[in-house]
Amino acid sequence: MTRREHDQEAREAQSPQASDGAPAHLRIDWKLDRDDIDDGGIDGPPLTYKGVPFTGEVVEAIGDQLLYQDFYVDGYAHGPTRSFWADGPLMSEGLMIWGRCNGVFRSWNHEGTLAGEQVFDAEGDLIEVRGKPR
């Protein structure tokens, strides 16, 4: 059994099941689930939840207001990443591919005006900065 197969099997054993038997979408909250999360730090090991590389959505919120939203696959940020001002407007967004920034990351000021952009290549290296990104 490969490590990926082992990790998938362990995740499925811990994952809740939807009514059709498929794994349900997992969503964890940084503040509420902090004791069960290990993010490994910058360039560290994959993010784990209860000891297993995490696949699903990670959020931070104040009440019903979303502050951060990231998606993970096998413990690596993979998919859209977004942050929001505390009163709701979008603050920034970009795309993560296997733990690396990819493409254009945009940030807005509180009034909704584009503040700046950062452009990353497929390796996650910053190649261009436009405006004054946050």
24's tokens? 């349900």
CB 78 within 8 A of CB 97: yes
pLDDT for the residue 63: 86
Lowest mean pLDDT among 22-36, 38-52, 120-134: 22-36
What pTM does this model have? 0.73
pLDDT for the residue 118: 98
Q: How far apart are CA 31 and CA 70, in angstroms?
A: 14
For 74-115, write each residue's pLDDT tens digit: 989 999 999 999 999 999 999 999 999 999 999 999 999 999
pLDDT for the residue 64: 86
- In the predicted model, is pLDDT for residue 34 greater than 80? no
CB 49 within 8 A of CB 33: yes
For 48-75, write each residue's pLDDT tens digit: 888 888 898 999 888 889 999 999 999 8
